[in-house]
């Protein structure tokens, strides 16, 4: 449920309730009832609260006998009957109460020839009507109000309107719920699609959500969805063209670069020990650096997840044991201990060729590079999660500033401490690693250990075999 949906729903419902209540108040205030024309020439002032109360009492009384009316009034509380007097043909109130002076005057005026009467005095209004009951008895019904009875008008209003008002509010609430949901649906679809695009998924399309086999929505939101799809299609095409361009340029650079390296090797072999040889070494280092960048660009996965088929299987434990053994000698020369810790016997995961080998080579190589002498780089393989294997590689270096922990997985990003070329690397290794892990439907994150050092944590789904 979105904020837009809630705002639309509450806004529509409140406006509808105000319209219903306002219409009811206007109708009650102006006494716009269907039968008003029948008594429009009456001497009774129909807008007074007493006249309204009389009409309600008469409406109920004409359906009952005199005994039923008496029983009903006797069962009511005094507060409910204090402004109503029902007088029988002998001039006695059914509840044996004294009739006020204004009421007596109304009684004297009522007769079969004059069934209506009205009298006002000192702000009080008295109205009466003579009614023939179903059992053949005549009764005179008198109602009155005083300046102190300011709440009578509202009591009559709610007595007449509360049930229709409640039903109308419930029906309007349902209608507003459906309307708000329909209006906010398009916005919600576009919001979700925008999030997917922000996450890098340019294949998202939404126009089909606004078109079904039965109903074709052609409003502004539907037209916007078509423009949205057109935009994402162009972005997707531009991104693919950019990726192809990078690959093509890298391929084109590799051939002359290889010839340059070959020529440098020949020149070095002919100029051993001379000053020119030192310059050639620098040129060769630059050429080797450029060649490594091109190699990593070409090895960066650019395939969509749907086209990346995980058709092979690899044992993570054996892979990590092999890598640790391979890099242990180089780590010992630096005075670093490289250790693998795992309680499990095997860890099978689905993969694509040898792609995971490059993932963990990058992580272990970075850890060995940035950890100081006489420390330990630990590699842990854990299966505590029933759905994933967790691989954690921890060094004991300076770590990474908290604000850059996500940035180290971006292409060509390097922290300030790693800007110098002599430090090794150029910011592509972890970007390639992250892309490859995601293509395996896994996740990778970096965090600083509480006791110092950077931890790289990789989670890969267990294989289903």
Calculate the alpha carbon distances from 340 to 221, 317, 325, 383, 430 in Å: 56, 9, 9, 14, 21
* Per-residue pLDDT tens listing for the chain (465 residues): 556 667 777 777 788 877 777 776 666 555 555 444 434 444 444 457 777 777 778 888 888 888 888 888 888 777 667 788 899 888 888 888 898 888 888 888 888 888 888 888 777 888 899 988 888 888 999 888 776 655 555 565 555 566 777 787 788 878 877 777 777 777 778 888 888 888 778 888 888 777 654 445 566 777 788 888 888 888 888 877 777 777 667 666 766 777 777 777 777 777 666 667 666 777 777 677 677 666 666 665 555 554 567 788 999 999 999 999 989 988 998 899 999 999 888 889 998 877 888 889 889 988 998 899 999 999 999 986 778 999 999 999 988 988 889 888 887 776 655 434 445 554 677 888 888 898 888 999 999 999 889 999 999 988 776
Q: Which residue, chain included where needed, has tokens 């789904």?
A: 461
Q: Cα(431)–Cα(408) distance, rounded to whole angstroms?
A: 8
And the tokens for 465? 């075999």
Q: Which residue has the tokens 């509202």?
A: 154
What Rg, from alpha-carbon coordinates, does the chain have?
A: 45
State if pTM tops 0.85: no
- Helices and strands counted in the chain (H then E): 11, 11
Name the token pair of 406: 């996500």
- Rounded CA-CA distance 460/387 in Å is 8
For 342-375, b/e burial (b = at least 16 CB within 10 A) is: beeeebbbbbbeebbebbbbbbbbbbbbbbeeeb
At 89, list the tokens.
């043909």
Spell out the domains of the chain, with CATH numbers in brackets.
3-160 (3.30.450.160), 220-299 (1.10.287.130), 307-461 (3.30.565.10)
Output phi, psi for 388, to 5 deg: -135, 155
* Residue 445, SS3 per DSSP: strand
């Amino acid at each position: 449920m979105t904020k837009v949906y809630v705002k639309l729903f509450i806004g529509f419902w409140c406006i509808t309730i105000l319209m219903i209540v306002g219409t009811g108040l206007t109708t009650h205030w102006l006494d716009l009832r269907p039968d008003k024309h029948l008594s429009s020439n009456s001497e009774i002032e129909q807008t007074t609260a007493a006249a309204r109360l009389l009409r309600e009492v008469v409406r109920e009384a004409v359906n009952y006998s005199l005994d039923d009316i008496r029983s009903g009034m006797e069962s009511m509380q005094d507060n409910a009957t204090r402004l109503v007097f029902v007088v029988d043909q002998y001039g006695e109130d059914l509840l044996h109460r004294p009739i006020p002076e204004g009421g007596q005057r109304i009684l004297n005026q009522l007769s079969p020839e004059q069934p209506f009467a009205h009298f006002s005095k000192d702000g009080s209004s008295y109205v009466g009507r003579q009614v023939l009951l179903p059992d053949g008895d005549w009764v005179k019904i008198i109602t009155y109000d005083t300046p102190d009875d300011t709440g009578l008008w509202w009591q009559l209003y709610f007595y007449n309107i509360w049930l229709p008002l409640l039903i109308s509010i419930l029906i309007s609430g349902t209608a507003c719920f459906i309307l708000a949901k329909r209006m906010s649906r398009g916005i919600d679809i576009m919001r979700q699609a925008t999030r997917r695009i922000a996450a890098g998924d340019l294949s998202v399309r939404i126009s089909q959500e606004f078109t079904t086999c039965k109903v074709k929505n052609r409003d502004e939101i539907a037209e916007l969805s078509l423009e949205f799809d057109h935009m994402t299609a162009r972005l997707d095409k531009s991104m693919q063209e950019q990726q192809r361009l990078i690959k093509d340029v890298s391929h084109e650079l590799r051939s002359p670069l290889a010839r340059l390296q070959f020529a440098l090797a020949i020149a070095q072999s002919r100029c051993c020990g001379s000053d020119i040889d030192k310059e050639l070494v620098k040129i060769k280092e630059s050429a080797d650096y450029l060649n490594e960048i091109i190699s990593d660009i070409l090895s960066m996965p650019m395939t969509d997840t749907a086209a990346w088929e995980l058709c092979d299987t690899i044992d993570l434990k054996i892979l990590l044991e092999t890598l640790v053994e391979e890099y242990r000698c180089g780590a010992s020369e630096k005075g670093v201990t490289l250790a693998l810790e795992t309680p499990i016997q095997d860890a099978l995961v689905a993969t694509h060729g040898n792609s995971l080998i490059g993932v963990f080579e990058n992580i272990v190589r970075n850890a060995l590079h940035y950890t100081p002498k006489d420390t330990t780089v630990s590699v842990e393989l854990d299966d505590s999660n029933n759905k994933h294997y967790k691989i954690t590689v921890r060094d004991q270096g300076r770590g990474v500033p908290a604000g850059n922990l996500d940035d180290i997985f971006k292409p060509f990003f390097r922290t300030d401490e790693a800007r110098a070329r002599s430090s090794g690397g150029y910011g592509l290794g972890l970007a390639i690693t992250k892309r490859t892990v995601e293509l395996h439907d896994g996740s990778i994150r970096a965090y600083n250990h509480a006791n110092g050092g950077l931890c790289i944590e990789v989670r890969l789904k267990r294989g289903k075999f």
